[in-house]
Structure 1
Amino acid sequence: MKNSLLAAAFALFSIAAFSQSKSGFGIKGGLNYNQNGDLIASVGDAAENIVQGSDGKVGYHVGVFGQLQLLRLYLRPELIYTKTQSAYDLNGGTKYDISKLDLPVLVGAKLIGPLHVFAGPAFQYILNNDLEGFNINDAEKDFTVGLHIGAGVDLGRLGLDVRYQRGFSENEAEFIGDNITPEISGRVDSRPSQVVFAVSLKL
């Protein structure tokens, strides 16, 4: 699946690279304010589950993009390495870190002047997940799909945008306490809900 993701990204970037002169490719990076899905845990032999929503934390992303300009519309595939972090009020405070590859395929439209809006599916491949203080399994699905929607401005070769990303379906990982008494176990939803601030540069 990872190879398929990379192959799709290469094909999309190739289209942009050989397109008309207003199109092109570049690099990008920025900050992510992320919240993952609920954490559901039980302590010892308790029958009642503890359900907690996550607190948002700041992460980052870096990547490349291609852009195919079609009059006032454009197609923009991106390949991004993303590091996110969220937190749960469990065991005195627990951080949940995820590293992943994102492939958004965005369709955008120019509005007034440098302003444009965009939306599209985002394909996600989870590379690693870590729940502080716990032994955690891999997420149920390595590969998931979500949505990006946002707006930006182009200032020559420099671009600024803000977008919202949301995963479509739950993608849980099971965990168990690491030398904790009484024992804590449960599952956590790795589905992202994040606001992304990005700076891009056309090369």
Structure 2
Amino acid sequence: MKNSLLVAAFAMFSIAAFSQSDSGFGIKAGLNYNQNGDLTIESVGNAAEDIIKGSEGKVGYHVGVFGKLAFSRFYLRPELVYTKTQSAYNFEGGTKYDISRLDLPVLLGVRIIGPLHVFAGPAFQYMLSNDLENFNINDAEKDFTVGLHIGAGIDLGRLGLDVRYERGLSENEAQFVGENVTDISGRVDSRPSQVIFAVSLKL
């Protein structure tokens, strides 16, 4: 009986939550301005290492879908997003680093006033590919990593605009060697540090 009441209460709570006009699902897309971590250069026969601190940010993009479950002022918003980022290192005349991955942010948000809301939550990331220009690069140590999203947005009817900051929390590096210069090798930190601008449309 107790279990039946718990199930019924959960069902009623779910129905009430979905009945909120702000709940639903939709599509989203936007631009990413990404910087990766340090690039470490090693030379054969030389124990010394040269470290390039961080990368120069470049513009990437993302596209995906989202769901939203509203509870009065609070909401839960999971997203599934394909992300393509690019950054560059001041090495060998400028070396671009491209990453493609699937992101699953799970955001908890709260409405502040009117259409304004703020949110934060973990982002689970699965790396699909990485490419360091002019070098042969191995897969990153970890395909699956975790980051953090924090941001703010406004809702204008079915249209939503938000800006957020993402920081990768899991250490993750990829090894590389030179394509033409065999005495150069190193590793690059693939953790993202990016500002994300997004437009969403509730369907």
CA contact (8 A) 2:20 2:71 kept: no
Displacement, 1:21?
Answer: 4.5
Matched residue, 2:26: 26
Say which SS state the counterpart of residue 187 (structure 1) adopts.
strand
2 CA distance for matches of 1:48 and 1:57? 29
How do 1:71-150 and structure 2 match up within 5 A? 71-150=72-151
1 CA distance for matches of 2:87 and 2:45? 27
Displacement, 1:175?
Answer: 0.3
Unpaired runs of at least 5, structure 2: 1-13
Normalised to the residue count of structure 2, the TM-score between the two structures is 0.89
2 CA distance for matches of 1:139 and 1:170? 10
1 CA distance for matches of 2:62 and 2:73? 28
1 CA distance for matches of 2:192 and 2:115? 29
Deviations 1:26-48 (A, max 9, x none): 00000000001111012343221
Deviations 1:133-176 (A, max 9, x none): 00000000000011000000000000000000001121000000
Matched residue, 1:70: 71
1 CA distance for matches of 2:137 and 2:160? 38
AA in 2 matched with 1:131: L
2 CA distance for matches of 1:129 and 1:145? 17
Displacement, 1:126?
Answer: 0.1
2 CA distance for matches of 1:55 and 1:140? 22
Unpaired runs of at least 5, structure 1: 1-14
2 CA distance for matches of 1:86 and 1:60? 12
1:38 and 2:38 matched: yes
1:195 and 2:200 matched: no
2 CA distance for matches of 1:94 and 1:49? 18
Aligned-pair RMSD on alpha carbons? 1.5
Deviations 1:106-155 (A, max 9, x none): 00000111000000000000000000000000000000011000000000
2 CA distance for matches of 1:64 and 1:190? 24
Normalised to the residue count of structure 1, the TM-score between the two structures is 0.89
AA in 1 matched with 2:104: L
State how many pairs are aligned: 187
How do 1:163-174 and structure 2 match up within 5 A? 163-174=164-175
2 CA distance for matches of 1:124 and 1:157? 27
CA contact (8 A) 2:159 2:200 kept: yes
2 CA distance for matches of 1:128 and 1:169? 17
Say which SS state the counterpart of residue 47 (structure 1) adopts.
strand
AA in 1 matched with 2:48: E
**Displacement over 3 Å in runs of 4+:** none
Q: Give the share of equivalent positions with the same residue, in percent.
A: 75
Deviations 1:164-190 (A, max 9, x none): 000112100000000126x21000010
CA contact (8 A) 2:165 2:196 kept: yes
2 CA distance for matches of 1:71 and 1:46? 62
Whose Rg is larger? 2
